Amino acid sequence: MALESVDVLAPAKLNLHLGIHPGRDERGYHRADSVMIALQLADAVHIQRADSLSLTTSVDCGVSPERNTVFRAAQRLGEALGRSDGWAIHVEKHVPSQAGMGGASSDAASTLLGLCRLWDVDPLDARVVDVARSIGADVPFFLTLAPALLTGAGDVLERQFPFLGDVPVALVHPDAGVSTVEAYREFDRAAHEPQSSERMCAALQAGDVAGVAEALYNNLEPAANRLVPVTAEVRAWLQGRPGVLGAQLTGSGSCVFAICESDRAACEIARDAREAKNWWACATKTVGGDARFC
């Protein structure tokens, strides 16, 4: 009997290494070397059979449903697979927007995964991957949650690594968000070649958490800091906290993360960020395996 509904978690991500190259390709994208890892902090996507395709969200995402990545992903997958079924999709948001944690991309990928389960389609079918790439550079990463190096425009899966385990992480997101478009424009004003991702890849392959923390890198961070200076303040504050192995802006920001020695350290950092600084903050962990269906 065909399934009538499905619930899928949509985890956030961190950029452990983000190397943006100068110049743009024919699509207007920068070449990017992106090493990403998924977090247990997640949105939740519910898909229910309906008469037509519709989308609701728990918070205002700032765009009409038809322009949302989730709606576009569902629409394009239906077209690619020759399906015209109706589905009511609801997204319960927990990942902050304009944070660099890939919330919208993950929501889109989880929608693709949910529809693949409902339609009994392999989620790594080339048609599904092509749809994912058409929605956004980060979307293909979220089809599988293993730590990964993506190249091209950050949308070509180059290499995957063993799951790192449940590593404690503190997330701090100031009130001001960073526009990805503006961050790349600012980067272009003083573009420079990034350093290699090999050090980070070696640490991930070895399962070396301390090595991962030491190899953190993001050459988009200075541009984001110039646009929203509080992000630099957040990072400096995190780096001064006990129990922090390493801290960095993720993506174009404005969320800054700290890899922590313990759950206790992550929880205390998140508490102090909320109480002393009035910043959005939470303690979470990296994803230890791919288990998204509720």
- Per the annotation, the verdict on 60 as an active-site residue is no
Query: Catalytic pick from 13, 33, 43, 155?
Result: 13
Instruction: Look up residue 68 and give its two tokens.
Output: 């949302």
Render the chain in DSSP notation, one character per residue.
---SEEEEEEEEEEEEEEEEPSS--TTSPPPEEEEEEEEEEEEEEEEEEESS-EEEESS--SS-GGGSHHHHHHHHHHHHHT---EEEEEEE--SPSSSSS-HHHHHHHHHHHHHHHHHT--TTSHHHHHHHHHH-TTGGGGGS-S-EEEETBTTEEEEE-------EEEEEE-SS---HHHHHHHHHTT--PPPPSHHHHHHHHHT-HHHHHHT-EETTHHHHHHHSTHHHHHHHHHHTSTTEEEEEE-TT-S-EEEEESSHHHHHHHHHHHHHHH--EEEEEEB-SS---B-
Instruction: Look up residue 252 and give its two tokens.
Output: 């174009």
- Per the annotation, the verdict on 138 as an active-site residue is yes
Query: Catalytic pick from 33, 43, 107, 138?
Result: 138
Instruction: Look up residue 31 and give its two tokens.
Output: 């070449």
Catalytic residue numbers read 13, 138
